[in-house]
Amino acid sequence: MPHEVRAVVAVEKGAPVEVRTILVPDPGPGEVLVSVQACGVCHTDLHYREGAINDDFPFLLGHEAAGTVESVGEGVTDLAPGDYVVLAWRAPCGTCRSCRRGRPWYCFDSRNATRPMTLEGKPLSPALGIGAFAEKTLVAAGQAVKVDPAARPEAAGLIGCGVMAGYGAAVNTGRVGNGDTVAVIGCGGVGNAAIAGACLNGARKVIAVDIDDRKLDRAEKFGATHTVNSRGTDPVEAVRALTDGFGVDIAIDAVGRPETYKQAFYMRDHAGVLVQVGVPDPEMRIDLPLIDLFSRGGALKSSWYGDCLPSRDFPILIDQYLYGLLDLNSFVTETIGLDDVENAFAKMHRGEVLRSVVIL
């Protein structure tokens, strides 16, 4: 029997989101039905609303979520009703060429549920294959990662996207290690998670770069040792001045603009690593002298979802949270209801919040 639930839907491009009643089917083979307890409001949801991802409207928004398994479909053996889970928007298939080579974090055939959730008979497009601004959602079993139920859902759910992306950019992609120097450009949720990850992995100097002093103040709470307001200061020169003129070992661009990418490129030490985790607009282009690409050496990396393996990494981050090492609570600026998502988008756009989290 399908389940009638309240959910946040983007009906058409650029229009305010609406809270509507949708139908969520029972799980089919390899699927699970999840009762959502909390879901963070992420920039990606706003990108969907604006048509910046694709035009497959209507969208069922929300993807940064934690909840409990309500029922499982045929063939699901590693999850059971009542399990506490964080939802992942990548679920490695185990059989594609990347998975077979032992690199499941690059899986080219990530799994999603196939049975559609619907609005007035029309299939919904769930954001990142999840759609968790809803009382219940249907996902592939591999997207539901079992974690310690002691973790508060409003904090735990953030691991499902922004926190994992930033943390993984530093730890998995950038390979920050003991004694490294790190710069992070953009101190929103992803950037602050990168700062926290760099600190936990032994960086001796972590420089936060942003144009907003409020965000720089928050970055210090996550472990930034130095801050640079780049609105009136050349951030490349400032970072070099803080690293004996050399630049950092790892520079992380958590913004995803040509300007910030160039800043990250030039604020590296020779043979340093640049990690881009901020998602650019598809129309953006980058222009760099080829001689600089050659002579500066090092590595230029893109970080997809923090190059994470959810089944491995989510429980690790939850454990760090419960041990008091990773302060997920400080990412939560406010808790809201489903009816407040549109207002949360406006607050996020104005830089007033790190994360608004919907509680269901």
Helix (H, G, I), strand (E, B) or coil at 321: helix
State yes or no: is 161 an active-site residue. yes
State yes or no: is 43 an active-site residue. yes
Cβ-Cβ contacts under 8 Å for 345 (sequence gap 6 or more):
17, 41, 45, 46, 49
Residue tagged active-site, from 49, 240, 268, 355: 355
Residue tagged active-site, from 42, 187, 199, 308: 42
State yes or no: is 107 an active-site residue. yes
Q: How far is CA 16 from CA 7, 13, 46, 124, 334, in A?
A: 14, 9, 10, 17, 21
Residue tagged active-site, from 3, 49, 63, 90: 63
Q: CA-to-CA distance for 78 and 105, rounded, in angstroms?
A: 20
Residue tagged active-site, from 64, 70, 135, 154: 64
Residue tagged active-site, from 3, 43, 226, 240: 43
State yes or no: is 64 an active-site residue. yes
Q: CA-to-CA distance for 329 and 322, rounded, in angstroms?
A: 11
Q: CA-to-CA distance for 124 and 56, rounded, in angstroms?
A: 8
Residue tagged active-site, from 39, 90, 161, 240: 161
Tell me the residue ranges of DSSP E strands in 124-164: 125-126, 136-140, 144-146
Residue tagged active-site, from 12, 68, 93, 342: 93
State yes or no: is 115 an active-site residue. no
Here the tokens at position 288 are: 């760099």
Residue tagged active-site, from 39, 107, 187, 199: 107
State yes or no: is 96 an active-site residue. yes
State yes or no: is 111 an active-site residue. yes
Residue tagged active-site, from 3, 49, 99, 227: 99
Residue tagged active-site, from 3, 111, 218, 296: 111
Here the tokens at position 51 are: 């048509």
State yes or no: is 44 an active-site residue. yes
Residue tagged active-site, from 3, 31, 44, 173: 44
Residue tagged active-site, from 18, 20, 96, 334: 96
Query: Which residues are the active-site residues?
Result: 42-44, 63-64, 93, 96, 99, 107, 111, 161, 355
